[in-house]
C-alpha cells in the first residue's frame, strides 16, 4: 500500500486530503537573489493621519472672578465687584479675542440681581424701622 492514493503526481493538502495532479496550485517563482534597496515602489503605506490642533484660547480671569463673586455675593460687596469685573472682562474679551464671554455675562447678571436684592433689603429695613417707630409712638400715646 502506497502513501500516494491515486499515483505519484497526487498531492496532499494541509487539510490532510489527497488531490489529483490537475488541481495542484502552480509553483511559486524562485526567490530573486538581489534584493532591491530602498522603499518598495508605489505609494507610501497609510498610517495614522496627523491632525494639527488649534491651540486652546485663554479664558479671561476676570470673567471667572465675576462669575464666582456673582454666585457668592459676599454681603453684596461681591455683587458690586462682580459687576466691575464682569464689565472689565467683556471689554478685555473683545480686545484680546479670549473666551469666557458667557461667564462674564453670567457674573454681570448675578451682580445686578445681588445689587437689586441689597437695595430691596435696605428699603424693607427702612420701612420696618419706620413702621416700628410709628407704632411705638402710638402705643405710648394710649397710656
The DSSP annotation for 56-72 comes to PPPBPHHHHHHHHHHHH
The total domain count for the chain is 1
Residue 126 resides in a domain = yes
Residue 105 resides in a domain = yes
Residue 113 resides in a domain = yes
Range of the domain at 110: 61-142
Residue ranges for the chain with pLDDT beneath 70: 1-6, 21-26, 31-51, 135-143
Residue 49 resides in a domain = no
E strands in the chain: 11-12, 18-19
Task: Please report the pLDDT score of residue 111 as a whole number.
Answer: 97
Task: Please report the pLDDT score of residue 140 as a whole number.
Answer: 52
- Reference 54, options 112, 99, 117; nearest CA is 99
Residue 108 resides in a domain = yes
Task: Please report the pLDDT score of residue 61 as a whole number.
Answer: 96
Task: Please report the pLDDT score of residue 32 as a whole number.
Answer: 66
Coil, strand or helix at 122: helix
Task: Please report the pLDDT score of residue 43 as a whole number.
Answer: 65
Q: For residue 103, how many other CB atoms are within 10 A of its CB?
A: 22
Residue 65 resides in a domain = yes
CB 142 within 8 A of CB 136: no
Residue 125 resides in a domain = yes
Cell of 62: 476676570
Amino acid at each position: 500500500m502506497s502513501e500516494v492514493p491515486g499515483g505519484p503526481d497526487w498531492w496532499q493538502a494541509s487539510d490532510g486530503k489527497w488531490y489529483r495532479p490537475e488541481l495542484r496550485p502552480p509553483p511559486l517563482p524562485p526567490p530573486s537573489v538581489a534584493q532591491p534597496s530602498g522603499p518598495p515602489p508605489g505609494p507610501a503605506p497609510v498610517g495614522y493621519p496627523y491632525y494639527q490642533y488649534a491651540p486652546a484660547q485663554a479664558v479671561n480671569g476676570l470673567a471667572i472672578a465675576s462669575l464666582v463673586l456673582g454666585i457668592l455675593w459676599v454681603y453684596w460687596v461681591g455683587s458690586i465687584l462682580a459687576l466691575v469685573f464682569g464689565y472689565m472682562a467683556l471689554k478685555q474679551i473683545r480686545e484680546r479675542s479670549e473666551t469666557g464671554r458667557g461667564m462674564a455675562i453670567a457674573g454681570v447678571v448675578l451682580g445686578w440681581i445681588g445689587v437689586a436684592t441689597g437695595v430691596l433689603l435696605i428699603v424693607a429695613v427702612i420701612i420696618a424701622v419706620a413702621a416700628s417707630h410709628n407704632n411705638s409712638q402710638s402705643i405710648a400715646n394710649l397710656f
